[in-house]
A and B are shown apart, each in its own frame.
Chain A
Amino acid sequence: MKKRSILILMLVAAMAMLAFAGCGNSETSDTASDEAVSNDDGVFVIGLDDSFPPMGFRDEQNEIVGFDVDLAKEVAERMGMTFYAQPIDWDSKEQELNGDHIDCIWSGLTMTDERKESMTFSEPYLENNQIIVVKNDSDIKSLADLAGKKVGMQKGSSAYEAFNASAIKDDVDETVEFADNVSAFQDLNVGRIDAVIVDSIVARYYIQSQDAEFTVLDDSLSPEFYGVGFKKDNTELRDKVQAALDSMVEDGTTAKISEKWFGEDIYYKGE
Chain B
Amino acid sequence: MDLTYLQNITYPMLKGSLVTLSVFAITIIISIPLGFCFTLMARSRIRILNRIAEIYIYILRGTPLLLQLMVVYFGLPLIPGIGKYLVFERYNAACIAFALNYAAYFAEIFRSGLIAIDPGQYEATKVLGLTRFQTMIHVIIPQMIRVSLPTISNEAITLVKDTALVTVIGVTEILHYAKTAVNRDGDTFAFLVAAVIYLLINAVLTYIFKKLEKRYDF
Contacts and interface: CB of A to CB of B under 8 A. Distances in A.
Given A6-B216, A92-B70, A182 B182 contact: yes
B91 A210 contact: no
B59 interface: no
Q: Is the interface of B mostly helix, strand, loop or mixed?
A: helix
A189 B95 CA distance: 39
Given A52-B183, A92-B70, A21 B168 contact: no
Given A13-B208, A51-B179, A185-B186, A89 B12 contact: no
Nearest to A212: B186
Contacts of B167: 89
Interface in A2-44: 2-3, 6, 9, 13-14, 17-18, 20-25, 27-28, 31-35, 37
Contacts of B70: 92, 95
A166 interface: no
Contact of A87 (B8, B23, B138, B172): B172
Contacts of B186: 182, 185-186, 206, 209-210, 212
A53 to B, nearest CB: 6
Nearest to B26: A21
Contacts, number: 127
A27 B173 CA distance: 12
A25 B74 CA distance: 22
Given A35-B89, A89-B167, A51 B218 contact: no
A90 to B, nearest CB: 10
Say which size band chain B's interface belongs to.
35 or more
Contacts of B181: 58
A32 B19 CA distance: 11
B171 A21 contact: no
Interface in B169-195: 169-172, 176-177, 179-184, 186, 188
Given A51-B184, A57-B184, A59-B184, A180 B179 contact: yes
Contact of B215 (A6, A28, A61, A179): A6
A21 B12 CA distance: 18
24 contacts: A9-B212, A13-B208, A21-B22, A24-B23, A25-B22, A32-B170, A33-B90, A34-B89, A37-B89, A51-B179, A51-B183, A52-B183, A58-B180, A58-B181, A62-B15, A91-B168, A99-B74, A99-B77, A101-B73, A101-B90, A180-B183, A181-B183, A182-B182, A186-B186
